[in-house]
Amino acid sequence: MSPQLHPTAIVHAKAELADDVSVGPYTVIGEHVRIGLGTRIDSHVVIEGWTEVGERCQIHSFVSLGAPPQHLKYNGEETYVRIGSHNILREYVTVNRATAFGGGVTSVGDHNVLMAYVHIAHDCHVGNHVIMANAATLAGHITIGDHAIVGGLVGIHQFVRVGAHSMIGGCSAVGQDVPPFMRAAGGYRARLFGVNTIGLKRQGFSEDRIRRLKQVYMTLFRSDLRLAEAVKKVRDECGTSEDVQVLLKFLDGTKRGICKGSDEREEE
């Protein structure tokens, strides 16, 4: 079965569209674009540059994929956007190409939901099963781990990492790394508010795993120890736990620092 192209769509002759791809009215698809099997592209979408989209994605109206990075040093180099399979991109989502000096690829994994007006800047890497709510915005070089949730109107500073299974509350401003399994929120400077208990339960984490992570959180972010001292204590006492190993490895890799723990308790 050949791709289904609306008569008003403009698709470059060299673009590669798999069978069963549908392209809506007034959509523009550029020369170097590749679209996987069964992907649906609605009206008024622009896909340009060296952009690859996987299978069975839903790309809604006015999405922009593969536009040049919003970076003053970009000079037309061949850089990429790579989007996996089974993703939903709602209206006005923008995903920009990477920079040559930032790795050359902006990537989005599989099974993600990017709600309306989400922006993913150059050189970002979004994992799998991520949910980004309306108008969540990533500056350049950001990494989002698997199963993370980013609330609406969240702004994240360049080079920040957001760990797997974490959740960031709406309208937060995130300037430092958010560790795996944690909840963060804050309109001026996001802080940690404990373990993402509800999210972990939904992903099948046992009560024992969650309890251990809560104990580790209290040691790392709510004790009187300096972070380096707290890390050593956790490594000595709980270092055999796979979840704890993931968390400590994330902390060891920080370049921008880690969000501080809040003295307040936030409702689950």
Residue 188 lies in a domain: no
pTM, full prediction: 0.97
Same domain? 137 vs 8: yes
Same domain? 60 vs 137: yes
Which one from 24, 102, 140, 199 is the annotated catalytic residue? 140
Q: Whole-angstrom Cα distance, residue 217 to residue 194?
A: 7
Which one from 32, 60, 86, 122 is the annotated catalytic residue? 122
Same domain? 33 vs 135: yes
Which one from 32, 49, 102, 123 is the annotated catalytic residue? 123
Query: Catalytic site residue 208?
Result: no
Residue 12 lies in a domain: yes
- Residue that finishes a domain, picked among 118, 141, 164: 141
What is the residue range of 226's domain?
201-252
What DSSP string describes 28-51?
EE-TT-EE-TT-EE-TT-EE-SEE
Same domain? 215 vs 95: no
Per the DSSP assignment, residues forming a β-bridge with 187 are none
Query: Catalytic site residue 30?
Result: no
Same domain? 128 vs 16: yes
Sign of the torsion formed by the C-alpha atoms of 43, 57, 183 and 155: negative
Residue 196 lies in a domain: no
Same domain? 32 vs 125: yes
Query: Catalytic site residue 111?
Result: no
Residue 23 lies in a domain: yes
Query: Domain containing 71 — which CATH number?
Result: 2.160.10.10
Q: What is the pLDDT along the chain (268 residues), one digit of tens a residue?
A: 799 999 999 999 999 999 999 999 999 999 999 999 999 999 999 999 999 999 999 999 999 999 999 999 999 999 999 999 999 999 999 999 999 999 999 999 999 999 999 999 999 999 999 999 999 999 999 999 999 999 999 999 999 999 999 999 999 999 999 999 999 999 989 999 999 999 999 999 999 999 999 999 999 999 999 999 999 999 999 989 999 999 999 999 999 999 999 987 554 5
Residue 18 lies in a domain: yes
Into how many domains does the chain fold?
A: 2
Same domain? 134 vs 217: no
Query: Domain containing 205 — which CATH number?
Result: 1.20.1180
**Strand order, beta sheet including 191-195:** 4-5, 22-23, 40-41, 58-59, 88-89, 113-114, 131-132, 149-150, 167-168, 182-185, 191-195
